[in-house]
Amino acid sequence: MSQIKSLRIVILIVGVLLVLVFIRNSDQNVFKEKAKTAIEAAWNKSNLLTFDQLKKYTTPYLIIDIGDGKRPDSLLFQRAVKITFSQLLDKANRKVLDEANGELILFADDVASASRAWVILNQLGYKNLRILTLRSNPEELNYKFQPDTTARLEQDSL
Amino acid sequence: MGPLSIVSEFPEWLNLLIAFFIGIGFGFALEQAGFSSSRRLAGMFYGYDTTVLKVFFTAAIVALAGSQLLSFFGLLNLKLVFVNPYYANSAILGGIIMGAGFIMGGYCPGTGISAMSIGKIDAMVFLLGGMLGAFLFMETYPLIQSIAMENYKGNMRIDEWLGVSPGVFTLLLIIAAVAMFWIAELAEKKFSRPDITSDI
Amino acid sequence: MNVRIKYSLLLLGVGTILAFLPFHPSDSFLLKSDELLSVAASGENSFTVDQVARMVNREDSTIQLIDLREASQFKECNIPGSINIPFSDLLNPMWEGTFNQRNLRKIFYGNGDQTANYAWAIATGLGYKNNYIMKGGLNEWFKTVMLSRFEGEKISPAENALYETRFNARKAFKQINSLPDSLKSRYFKAKNIKQMKLDGGCQ
């Protein structure tokens, strides 16, 4: 007992630290996933979904339409909720995301919002998260560069 | 004065000023701990005084644990910490030469300057020798460059090499340190030299 | 109780907490999620290909074009002045020297828009400042800068300037990418070494 009494200060410091760690960990605003997971998932394109694949879906899913409000309310999809990109993490919207049943499928008119939203949600720890795309490989180069063998740097710079 | 991210917004002169005061504090602490006596460092080698081990290892693990906690609470950006690139050959060869110099001289560069500032003549000679060594190193560098640059391992970190999280590595190091302190205390009893230690 | 034992126990306690920390911030994003979202939604972080073409012509030193494609694609063709940081290699500490320059505007591009936006969000989330994307990527570059021709009867001064910019950028692009392979790889290697982190710190 006397030993514990003399260790009071040690126990106090460790206890306070533990409480602080728990508080920090319960902050929903802090990113906790490793950045590497986003790169890996994006690199092997397992996060992309085409319309054809979606048509064949039998498992439950929820489409998150990150529209800018110009399009009439989700004409395209039946199982969709509309969330403006800048309000993606509002309390009500996070509740929708948290309570969604099955896969979350992001859709936006511009690739930028969808990709950025995907990175943010992926790093917040949302699993089963995909982006709906029109093409199976949006990162394909549609043009072929033809080297101009007559072009010479030296001649021009002289 | 990184890696405190708030501090990195400071202007250059303020950074240098902070460094100046930290330097004074460091020198003062070294002097107060008796590190300005060459017998203290030599004692580490002979086993009669292991203060050096205890002080520097404690400093290392406190800094390690502290920086990890600060980073966890978002107060410190550990990505800004410079990781020294690891040249295996230079590290081993340089370590041996430097270690031999420490035992023979009884100082490390920091304690040497601290001792010089209170007027110890042996420390002045030690620092002169250090500067001469640095001069010789630079002059002969082209000859030894190929040896020094061999076995380059990049910006290596032990926790990554072991494949454990930084926190687990910190715990392992703390356990190792506490064990070492315990052994060091035993050694101090075994090799005690009251005739020397009472002086320091 | 001996004070040394107290310190040892304290350190062991803190070490145990560290070993069981639920996440390690140095592997994760530095920004909070709402901060990242508000920057991402602000929409002020992209350049059009014409803006990029103008900067390329000026050899603007306040920008760094970053090509996120694989090395083989990069070697085939890339925008003059860009360096190759393959997306899969984005977290390599080797690139810290490029990313960590506050005043350098980093402009990401891939073939399309997707990879560039991923990279933008990751770099910004990790706390690096001044990140941009080139809208439309190389596909847009080819369409607008490389292949567009003026069609019409009368050209206005503004249009004239625009087409001159495109023409000059096109010329530079063709010249650099038409170099023989051996010269190209040597040139890119030298450029990449320049971008790597400088040695420094406490010795």
The owner of tokens 């042996």 is: B122
Task: Tell me: pLDDT of B14 over 70.
Answer: yes
* C201 burial level (CB within 10 Å; 0-12, 13-18, 19+): exposed
d(CA C131, CA C134): 10
Q: Say if CB B127 and CB B116 are below 8 A apart.
A: yes
Cα(A104)–Cα(A80) distance, integer angstroms: 10
Is the pLDDT at B176 greater than 70? The verdict is yes
All residues of chain A having their beta carbon less than 8 Å from the beta carbon of residue B69 are 17
Asked whether residue C93 is domain-assigned, the answer is: yes
Which residue, C23, C42, B166, is CA-closest to A34?
Answer: C23
pLDDT of residue B139: 94
Report the chain B residue with the minimal C-alpha distance to residue A29. Answer: B74
Q: Is residue C80 part of a domain?
A: yes
Give residues 12 to 41 of A whose Cβ lies within 8 Å of C: 13-14, 17-18, 21, 25, 28-36, 38-39
* CA–CA separation, B163 and B82 (whole Å): 20
Examine residue C2 and state whether it is found in any structural domain, yes or no. no
What is the H or E stretch that residue C83 is in?
strand C83-84
What is the Cα–Cα distance from C167 to C175, expressed in whole angstroms?
12
Mutation target to probe the A interface, by most A beta carbons within 10 A, among C29, C35, C69 is C29
Only one residue has tokens 């002080």, namely B55
Q: How many CB atoms lie within 10 A of CB C191?
A: 13
CB B124 within 8 A of CB B36: no
Q: How many beta-carbon pairs under 8 angstroms link B with C? A: 73
Residue A109 three-state SS: coil
B174 contact residues in C (CB cutoff 8 A): 11-12, 14-15
The residue with tokens 């920008």 is C63
User: What is the count of structural domains for chain B?
Assistant: 1
Q: Does C87 touch chain A (CB under 8 A)?
A: yes
Residue A7 in contact with partner chain B when CB distance is under 8 A: no
* Two structure tokens written together for A107: 């859709």
Nearest to C74, CA basis, from C65, C64, C66, C84: C84
The reported pLDDT for the residue numbered B16 is 85
- Per-residue model confidence (pLDDT) at position A75: 55
Three-state DSSP class for residue C135? coil
Residue A48: pLDDT over 60: yes
Contact B69, C18 (CB under 8 A): yes
Give the pLDDT confidence score for residue C191 in this predicted structure: 65
Q: Using one digit for the tens of pLDDT, what is the confidence trace for C170-191?
A: 888 888 888 877 777 777 667 6
Is the four-CA dihedral C90, C94, C100, C103 of positive or negative sign?
A: negative
Indicate whether A20 pLDDT > 90: yes
Q: Which residues pair with C67 in a beta bridge?
A: C84, C109
Reported as a single tens digit per residue, the pLDDT across B21-69 is 999 999 998 888 888 888 888 888 888 888 888 888 999 999 999 999 9
Cβ proximity of C87 and C118 under 8 Å: yes
Residue contact B73–A24, C-beta within 8 A: yes
Half-sphere CA count of A89, side-chain side, radius 13 A: 23
Residues of B whose CB is below 8 A from A30 = 74
CA atoms A135, A44, A122, C28: torsion sign: negative
Contact C66, C83 (CB under 8 A): yes
Which pLDDT score is estimated for A70? 62
C13 touches chain B (CB under 8 A): no
* pLDDT tens-digit map of C39-62: 998 878 999 999 999 999 888 888
Number of C-beta neighbours around residue C67 at 10 A: 26
Per-residue pLDDT for B103 more than 70? yes
Query: One-letter amino acid identity for B142?
Result: P
pLDDT at B198 over 50: yes
Q: Can you list the pairs that C7-10 forms with residues at least 24 positions away whose Cβ atoms lie under 8 Å? A: C7/B58, C8/B178, C8/B181, C9/A7, C9/A10, C10/A10, C10/A13, C10/A14
- CB contact B79 to A (< 8 Å): no
CATH architecture of A42-131: 3-Layer(aba) Sandwich (3.40)
**Contacts with A125 (C-beta within 8 Å, 6 or more apart), sequence order:** A32, A33
Residue A122 near residue A129 (C-beta atoms within 8 A): yes
Q: Is B75 on the interface with A (CB under 8 A)?
A: no
Using 50 as the pLDDT threshold, list the residues of chain C that sit under it.
Answer: 197-203
- Whether residue C33 contacts residue B173, with contact meaning beta carbons closer than 8 Å, is answered with no
- Using a pLDDT cut of 70, give the percent of chain B over it: 94
For chain B positions 146-165, those within 8 Å of chain C (CB to CB) are: 155, 165
| pLDDT at A69 exceeding the cut of 80 | no
Q: In Å, what is the CA distance from C192 to each residue of A45, A77, C73, C185?
A: 27, 47, 16, 10
The reply to whether residue A21 touches residue B72, judged by beta carbons under 8 angstroms, is yes
Residue A131 has pLDDT above 60, yes or no: yes
- pLDDT for residue C200: 40
CA A113 and chain centroid, separation: 10
Report the CATH number at residue C112. Answer: 3.40.250.10
pLDDT of residue A62: 87
Task: Name the residue range of residue C163's domain.
Answer: 27-194
Q: Which amino acid belongs to residue A136? A: S
Six token digits for residue C119: 């990279």
Paired with B36 in beta bridges are none
State the pLDDT at residue C194.
Answer: 59
Q: How many domains does chain C have?
A: 1
| Rg (alpha carbons) of chain B, rounded to whole number | 19
For an interface test with B, give the residue of C3, C7, C20, C21 to mutate (most B CBs within 10 A): C21
Query: What is the mean predicted confidence (pLDDT) over B76-88?
Result: 80
Could you tell me if A116 lies within 8 Å of chain C, comparing CB atoms? Answer: yes
**What DSSP letter does each residue of C159-173 carry, written as one string?**
HHHHHHHHHHHHHHH
Upstream peptide bond of C157 is cis (omega within 30 degrees of 0): no
Contact A24 B69 (CB under 8 A): no
Q: Which residues, numbered 58 to 77 in chain A, qualify as contacts with chain C under a Cβ-Cβ cut-off of 8 Å?
A: none
Find the domain containing B13 and state its range.
7-197
Q: Is C66:C108 a contact under the CB 8 Å cutoff? A: yes
pLDDT score for A19: 95
CB contact under 8 A, C18 and B65: yes
C24 lies within 8 A of chain B by CB? yes
Task: Please count the residue pairs, one from chain A and one from chain C, whose beta carbons lie less than 8 angstroms apart.
Answer: 161
Does ipTM surpass 0.90 in this model?
no
Q: In the prediction, which pLDDT does A111 show?
A: 84
Nearest to C12 among B58, B165, B178 (CB): B178
Partner B contacted by C96 (CB < 8 A): yes
- Chain B residues whose beta carbon lies within 8 Å of the beta carbon of residue C13: none
CA-based torsion, C3, C9, C12, C18: positive or negative: negative
pLDDT of residue A14: 93
pLDDT at A77: 65
Place of tokens 């145990």: C16
Q: Is B74 at the interface with chain A, CB within 8 A?
A: yes
pLDDT at residue B174 in the model: 95
> CB-CB: which of C12, C26, C200 is closest to B71?
C26
Whole-number pLDDT of residue C202:
35
Share of chain B above pLDDT 90, in %: 34
* Beta-carbon separation of C18 and B170 below 8 A: yes
Q: What is the DSSP string of B112-154?
A: HHHHHTTT-HHHHHHHHHHHHHHHHHHHHHHHHHHHHTSSB--
Check pLDDT > 70 for residue A157. Answer: no
Q: What residue segments make up the domains of chain A, in order of their start? A: 42-131
Chain A residues lying within 8 Å of B72, measured CB to CB: 21, 24
Residue B2 lies in a domain: no
Residue-wise pLDDT for B129-166, tens only, equals: 999 999 999 999 998 888 888 888 877 888 888 988 88
Does the residue C67 lie in any domain?
yes
Indicate the pTM of the whole model.
0.81
Dihedral-angle region of residue A74 (phi above 0 means left; psi in -120 to 50 means alpha; beta otherwise): left
Between A142 and C52, residue with greater pLDDT: C52
The shortest C-alpha distance from C24 to chain B (Å) reads 7
